[in-house]
Amino acid sequence: MDLSQLRPAKGSTKNVKRRGRGEGSGSGVTAGRGHKGYGSRGGSKKRVWFEGGQMPLQRRLPKFGFTNRSRVVYQVVNIGDLQSLADVKVITKEVLYEKKLIRKNRLPVKILGEGELLKKIDVKVDAISKSAKEKIEKLGGAVTLA
């Protein structure tokens, strides 16, 4: 066997339909374009999204949504969850990440005041609520905003 004997697999190729080559070809006369109308003549630029003049899909559907690009998304940790970390000297983003209280190390962290705190802790985070700050400072802890 040599290169001259190579053939495509059976059924993998089809013959090209030669349009507009006489009536005997089966697609002469109008060459598969139908009779008259916008698309029947040469040079028509009917776009893929054109729907024949009816209201197009992108105009039928309502506009919705807005993304505020300057919005800061905080990872939230409640003060009750910090109770389990009371033996740690300073609670930072890295400590919270190691203990799996937050999912991402890159995003900012905010402490909220849900739950109770029994031991003194020092916290160094990006943001903190007023009630959480009061609870920490009431027990003699310190809050540092990073």
Domain CATH code at residue 82: 3.100.10.10
- On whether residue 49 sits in a domain, the answer given is no
- On whether residue 44 sits in a domain, the answer given is no
In the chain, the number of structural domains is: 1
- On whether residue 56 sits in a domain, the answer given is no
* pLDDT given for residue 89 in this prediction: 86
- Rounded to two decimals, the pTM is 0.57
d(CA 28, CA 33): 10
* pLDDT given for residue 94 in this prediction: 94
Domain coverage including residue 127:
75-145
* pLDDT given for residue 86 in this prediction: 80
* pLDDT given for residue 41 in this prediction: 87
- On whether residue 132 sits in a domain, the answer given is yes
Neighbours of 56 (CB within 10 A): 13
- On whether residue 100 sits in a domain, the answer given is yes
* pLDDT given for residue 115 in this prediction: 92
Cα–Cα distance list, 138 to 55, 115, 117, 118, 141 (Å): 64, 14, 10, 10, 7
- On whether residue 18 sits in a domain, the answer given is no
- On whether residue 99 sits in a domain, the answer given is yes
Structure tokens of 14? Answer: 């089809």
* pLDDT given for residue 84 in this prediction: 86
* pLDDT given for residue 78 in this prediction: 95
Nearest Cα to Cα of residue 82 among 124, 133, 128, 116: 116
- On whether residue 135 sits in a domain, the answer given is yes
3-state class (DSSP) for residue 142: strand
Show pLDDT as tens, one digit a residue, over the chain (146 residues).
899 999 999 999 998 999 999 999 889 999 989 899 888 888 888 888 889 899 999 999 999 999 999 999 999 999 999 988 888 889 999 999 999 999 999 999 999 999 998 889 999 999 999 999 999 999 999 999 98
